[in-house]
Amino acid sequence: MVVDLREPERADRLFHALADATRRDIVVRTLEGTHSVSALARRYPMSFAAVQKHVAVLEDAGLVTKHRRGREQLVRGEVDTVRRASQLLDGLEAVWRGRIDRMDEILTDPEGDTP
């Protein structure tokens, strides 16, 4: 897994989310296939609410997404999606940093203020 350490907040959330064995297990299971929260809850010796909380932490870290199907909440692992999106956003940031450098040049250039 790629963690962008230039984004400490994001890395913190990610590592925190993955620091728990149940949560790691949920990520592995939901990456293999979609599971409902109730199906997941049956697998662990804890309450439905506790499993739901674990899923929420994973969701917050972007490791899974929840989708509603009828009355069920389906959980899907998203590590790769998050990584792809994160890399694209890094590229976009680089594009904008370049543009902003050039804006700066125009603003400081006395000739830049075209009539």
Partner 1 sequence: MTVTDVHKDPDALTMAIVVELDATVERAWQLWSDPRQLERWWGPPGYPATFGEHDLTVGSRVGYFMTSPEGERHHGWWEVLAVDPPRRLELADGFADDEGRPDDDLPVGRMVVTLEERGGRTEMVITSHFPTLEAMEQLMAMGQEEGMVQAIGQIEGILAEAGSAS
Site residues for partner 1 per CB under 8 A: 7, 10, 62, 65, 78, 81-82, 84-86, 88-108, 112-114
Residues 98 and 92: their CA atoms lie apart, in Å, by 10
The minimum distance between CB 11 and partner 1, in angstroms, equals 12
Radius of gyration of the chain (CA): 21
Q: Contact, 53 vs 88, CB < 8 A?
A: no
Minimum gap (Å) between residue 89 Cβ and partner 1: 4
Residues 6+ apart with CB under 8 A from 25: 43, 44
Query: Which of residues 15 and 48 has its CB atom nearest to partner 1 in the complex?
Result: 15
Given the complex with partner 1, which of 4 and 39 has the nearer CB atom? 4
Minimum gap (Å) between residue 45 Cβ and partner 1: 30
Q: CB of residue 64 vs partner 1: minimum separation in angstroms?
A: 10
Q: Which is nearer to partner 1, 20 or 60 (CB)?
A: 60
Q: With respect to partner 1, which residue has the nearer C-beta, 15 or 98?
A: 98
Burial 78-114 (b: 16+ CB within 10 A, else e): bbeebeeebeeeeeeeeeeeeeeeeeeeeeeeeeeee
